[in-house]
Amino acid sequence: MAEKEIIIVANWKDNTTLADAHVLAMGVRNELEHIDGVRVVLCPPNVWVTEVRNIVHDQIHHMSVGLQDISGEPAGLGTGEVAAELVKDIVDYAIIGHSERLNLYHESVETLQDKIHAALSFNIKPIICIGEEKQSSASKGALTRRLEQLLKDVPITKRNQCLVAYEPIWAISGGPGQPARAASPEYASDVMAALRKAVPATVPILYGGSVTPQNVVQFLAKPEIDGVLVGGASLRLRDFAELVKNAARLA
């Protein structure tokens, strides 16, 4: 029996019009307002965070809203960016370094360090993504070193505010028609045990990559796995509600 809160992050990626986001957030609220022991963090496209926050945040203490990315620069001259200072009263979390952004925009370690620093400066919890391209248990060492590097300048007192999302890139679902191939819970927990050495015990480490209502319990049953980051299944209300309810039974 887990005593701590299980964290489930919904990454809607670049999906949902305003109307879709409204309907999905309302559905999530109605389906999940009475669950216990699980924190649900909804990360809609950045442009809809206010809408989604208005629906879930103030009414329901176990639901939060997060950005899918955040600027590493101070507010002011970053055309097209969202600075932490501007959204500090709206979001509690920000996903940083998702593999899709690394692939599309080639964000460097320095850029990610700046983003982590910017988020923490305004009390936004960074969800730091990390994962290997190809399945190989040899990647554990490289991933741990990368995590240490990302956190290099984060003082110990601030590290408690961070979350880590271990997302093996090969396990992330590729959209409609692409079969899910989640990592095995054994493989994931083995890597996550290595990552754990780079962060304080209080830092939640989440697994992400083809999490479904069917496999979520197997992941969360592993002591190394404190929660999950869900992409595709978080866009389907029925699947997402079932996934969270299945998780809540373990809490």
Residues belonging to the active site: 98, 167
96 φ, ψ (degrees, to nearest 5): -130, 130
Element (H, E) at 38: strand 38-43
Give the 3-state secondary structure of residue 170.
Answer: helix
Q: Between 83 and 183, whose beta carbon lies closer to ligand PGA?
A: 183
- Using CA atoms, how far residue 128 sits from 14, 109, 146, in Å, is 19, 12, 11
Only one of the segments 37-45, 141-149, 166-174, 185-193 lies at the binding site for ligand PGA (rule: CB under 6 A); that segment is 166-174
Only one of the segments 17-25, 44-52, 133-141, 228-236 lies at the binding site for ligand PGA (rule: CB under 6 A); that segment is 228-236
Task: Give CA–CA dist 222/226, Å, rounded.
Answer: 8
- Which of 119, 232, 240, 244: binder of ligand PGA (CB under 6 A)? 232
- How many helices, marked H, and strands, marked E, lie in the chain? 10, 8
- Which of 10, 206, 229, 243: binder of ligand PGA (CB under 6 A)? 229
Q: Between 155 and 176, whose beta carbon lies closer to ligand PGA?
A: 176
- Could you say whether residue 215 binds ligand PGA (CB under 6 A)? no
- Which of 131, 209, 213, 227: binder of ligand PGA (CB under 6 A)? 209
Residue 65 exposure: Cα atoms within 13 Å on the Cβ side: 26
Show the site string, 121-150: x = touches ligand PGA by CB under 6 A, - = not: ------------------------------
Alpha carbon 39 to chain centroid, angstroms: 12
- Could you say whether residue 224 binds ligand PGA (CB under 6 A)? no
- Which of 68, 173, 189, 215: binder of ligand PGA (CB under 6 A)? 173
Task: Give CA–CA dist 25/55, Å, rounded.
Answer: 7
- Which of 97, 185, 208, 213: binder of ligand PGA (CB under 6 A)? 208
- The answer to whether 163 and 64 have CB atoms below 8 angstroms apart is no
- Which of 69, 92, 167, 226: binder of ligand PGA (CB under 6 A)? 167
Q: From 30, 38, 36, 50, select the one nearest 10 (Cα to Cα).
A: 38
Q: Which residues contact ligand PGA by CB under 6 A?
A: 11, 167, 172-173, 208-211, 229-233
